[in-house]
Structures are given as C-alpha cells and as structure tokens.
Amino acid sequence: MKIAAVATAFPEHWYPQRTLTDAILRILDADERLADRIRTLHANTGIDGRYTILPLEAYAELRDFSQANAAWLQGALQLGERACREAMSKAGVRPEEVDVILFSTVTGLASPSVDARLMTRLGLRPDCKRMPLFGLGCVAGAAVVSRAADLLRGNPTGVVLVLTIEMCSLTLQPDDRSVANLISIGLFGDGAAAAVIVGEQHRAAGPRIEATRSVFYPDTEQVMGWDIGAHGFKIILSAEVPTVARERVPIDVDAFLADQGLQRPDIRRWIAHPGGPKVLQALQDGLELPQEALQCSWDSLRQAGNLSSASVLMILEQTLRTNPGRPGDAGVMLAMGPGFCSEFLLLRW
C-alpha cells in the first residue's frame, strides 16, 4: 500500500493567538483574575495563530448546539470537498477510480454523514463504499490511514480516499471554567485533511505502508474525550496525557519497530501528531529525539494549533513536501487519542 498524496484545507479566517484570546475573554465575560489566567495559559501554547470556520464576531451569536452543528456541517462540506479534490489531483486519481471513502470527525454530527453528502459533489461512483467514523479524535489521522491500508491488502490496484475534518472552535463552552476547557480553547483549531491511499500495484507513487499497529491502554477512558449533551461538546482532558506520551508510547514504538526488525535509529522521518507543547515535548523526550526530528510537528502546532485528527496528515503533507526522503528511508507516523490509545505506521520511501 502507498500514500499517493495528502492535501489540507483551511477556513479563510486566521487570527493571531492574542486576538483569539481577547475574543474568548469577551465571550466568557472573564473577570480580571480569570483573564490573566487564560492569557498565561494561551501564551504558553507556543501557537502563533489558528484558523476558525466562522469570523470571530460570529461565535458570540451561537446560542445552542443546533446552531453550532449547522455551522459545522456547512464548513465540513466546504473544506472536505476542497481537501479531497486537491488530494485526488495531486495523486493523479480520478473520482471514479475511488473504491472507498473513509471519513472521520469528532467535532460534529450528521446523518447522512459528510462522506455521503460529498459522493455526488466529488463525482464518486455509486458503488463506492463509505465508512464514516466518529469518536477517534486526535488519533484518527493515523488510524484512518491504517484502516485504508487494511482494506487494500486484498486489493492491490484499489484506491481509498481518507478524509478528516475538525472544527474545534465550534465546541466552545462559554460556561465551562474548568482548566481543561481553558487550555483547549487556546490550543485547538479548525481544518481538514485528505489523503489518497492506493494498492501496491497501482500506478501512483508514494511512500509504502509496510506495517501498522493499534494500541489501547486499559482503564484510560477518562483521559481524553467529550461529555456530549444538549450543551454540545464539553472537553475531557486529563493531565495524564504527557505522562502517557513520555512513558508508554516509546515502549510501544520500540515493540512495533522490533517486530519489523528495526530500532529507533533506523527511522529517518518522524510524523507525529503534536497534541500540545507539553505532550509534544514529552513525546520527544520519551523517544530521545532531537527537536529537528519533530520540527514539522512543532511548526504545525505553531502555525495552526492542534487540529485534532487533521494535524498528523497536515504534518505528513509538510514532510512529503519539504523532506521527501531518499529511497529506502524508513519513517514512523504516530498519533494518540481518546480511548486512550495510540496508532503507529511504518512507512518506507
């Protein structure tokens, strides 16, 4: 299986981090003490700015989950179509060649799902199989590529289009004063990413997916996720996440590589979901990597924040564009998410 192309799509609105923080303070009607705390938390993210699907002034007008979800669906269709078209164009794949479209999100709900609503827009075949996924969160960017590879093992000429869309800004909870929410509203951004994964015998070129692995950590269901209700999506975010990144992920990466006859020094490309600055630093420390090994992840976080499932695909696109690698180079793509869980892929150029 090969990754033939990756493409990202962002909303038209991008704001500096300080501008976003000031807008959030107004929406929260924060007193001086709370405002100082939020400014400190947001300044420590290392983020220059983030994209939002709506102009800033529109967020104060969102009254309930119905309005937020309607904005999510409209934005999802716009960004999703753009990302898919660009990915297919870059891969040299026509819409009618796509056998499966695999879609993931964790920031909105729709039935028919977004992939169904894109079928006609994109010109996909009526017999194209659809696989909508919900709830994977940040890990989904890696997990959907893994699942695409699983589907292609028995179809060496097949094509799978994967799409992840997140509009984290629409999950804003003005009445939530928890530390998790105060951090998340300064960390997460909006965007979409698509990739074209093809079978081994397909004409399109790209790094091969040699192996994948999913890891679930028992009794960690409360580490990360959403409390979903009439209020919409309320963040669950534990301080344990950096600890898992530092202590558990390196062990699992080593076991994954060992089964392929490899060790960490054999890996030339690291494509890691950024999480946040503490999570990314913990991952870097745990894997004993220099900062330049994760530079694309740091750059992605700084430029756009944490895009949840779309981030690791954005980083993969940047890696393919700026550091394509030499024939034979090995790379690891990895992400973590609700469950709590990890996903690993071994790539070979």
The three state secondary structure string of 120-184 is HHHCCCCCCEEEEEECCHHHHHHHHHHHHHHHHCCCCCCEEEEEEEEEHHHHCCCCCCCHHHHHH
Residues 74, 119 within the same domain: yes
Q: At what angle do helices 32-43 and 17-28 cross, to 10 degrees?
A: 150
Radius of gyration of the chain (CA): 19
Q: Is 263 exposed, middle or buried (0-12, 13-18, 19+ CB in 10 A)?
A: exposed
Structural domain of 216: 208-348
Query: How far, CA to CA in Å, does 284 sit from each of 2, 135, 159, 265?
Result: 27, 26, 34, 14
* Catalytic-role residue among 84, 138, 168, 341: 138
**Side-chain half-sphere exposure of 8, counting CA atoms within 13 A:** 24
Inside any domain, residue 46: yes
Is 84 noted as a catalytic residue in this protein?
no
pLDDT at residue number 312: 97
Residues 121, 212 within the same domain: no
pLDDT at residue number 219: 85
Inside any domain, residue 56: yes
Q: How many residues does the chain have?
A: 349
H-type alpha helices, the chain: 17-28, 32-43, 65-91, 114-122, 140-152, 179-184, 241-247, 249-258, 277-287, 295-304, 311-322
Q: Is 233 helix (H, G, I), strand (E, B) or coil?
A: strand
CB 195 within 8 A of CB 169: no
Per-residue pLDDT in tens (0 to 9) along the chain, 349 residues:
999 999 999 999 999 999 999 999 999 888 999 999 999 999 999 999 999 999 999 998 998 999 999 999 999 999 999 999 999 999 999 999 999 999 999 999 999 999 999 999 999 999 999 999 999 999 999 999 999 999 999 899 999 999 999 999 999 998 888 888 888 999 999 999 999 999 999 999 999 999 999 999 988 888 888 888 888 888 888 888 888 889 899 999 999 999 999 999 999 999 999 999 999 999 999 999 999 999 999 999 999 999 999 999 999 999 999 887 789 999 999 999 998 999 999 999 9
pLDDT at residue number 237: 83
Residues 60, 189 within the same domain: yes
Q: What is the DSSP letter of 265?
A: G
CB 95 within 8 A of CB 123: yes
- Residue 36's CB is within 10 A of a number of other CB atoms, namely 12
What's the CA gap between 181 and 220, in Å, rounded?
Answer: 19
- End-of-domain residue from the set 198, 226, 241: 198
Confidence (pTM): 0.93
Inside any domain, residue 73: yes
| Residue-by-residue DSSP string for 242-260 | HHHHHHTHHHHHHHHHHTT
CB 199 within 8 A of CB 209: no
Inside any domain, residue 341: yes
- End-of-domain residue from the set 152, 173, 198: 198
Residues 190, 217 within the same domain: no
Residues 15, 156 within the same domain: yes
Inside any domain, residue 203: no
pLDDT at residue number 201: 93
Residues 131, 232 within the same domain: no
Residues 43, 10 within the same domain: yes
Residues 116, 60 within the same domain: yes
**Side-chain half-sphere exposure of 252, counting CA atoms within 13 A:** 22
Inside any domain, residue 311: yes
Residues 146, 35 within the same domain: yes
Q: What is the pLDDT of residues 2-53, one digit of tens each?
A: 999 999 999 999 999 999 999 999 998 889 999 999 999 999 999 999 999 9
What's the CA gap between 148 and 144, in Å, rounded?
Answer: 6
Q: What is the pLDDT of residues 244-253, one digit of tens each?
A: 889 899 999 9
- 330-337 and 267-272 as β-strands: parallel, antiparallel, unpaired? parallel
Write the CATH number for 336: 3.40.47.10
What's the CA gap between 119 and 302, in Å, rounded?
Answer: 34
- End-of-domain residue from the set 172, 198, 224: 198
The residue whose two tokens read 């704001």 is 15
Q: What is the pLDDT of residues 69-99, one digit of tens each?
A: 999 999 999 999 999 999 999 999 999 999 9
Residues 175, 226 within the same domain: no
The token pair at 334 is 């990895």
Q: Which of 304, 56, 92 is nearest to 189 (CA)?
A: 304
Inside any domain, residue 253: yes
- Domains in the chain, number: 2
Inside any domain, residue 134: yes
Q: At what angle do helices 277-287 and 295-304 cross, to 10 degrees?
A: 180
pLDDT at residue number 72: 97
Residues 165, 241 within the same domain: no
**Phi, psi (rounded to 5 degrees) for 329:** -60, 140
Residues 246, 106 within the same domain: no
The residue whose two tokens read 């909303």 is 11
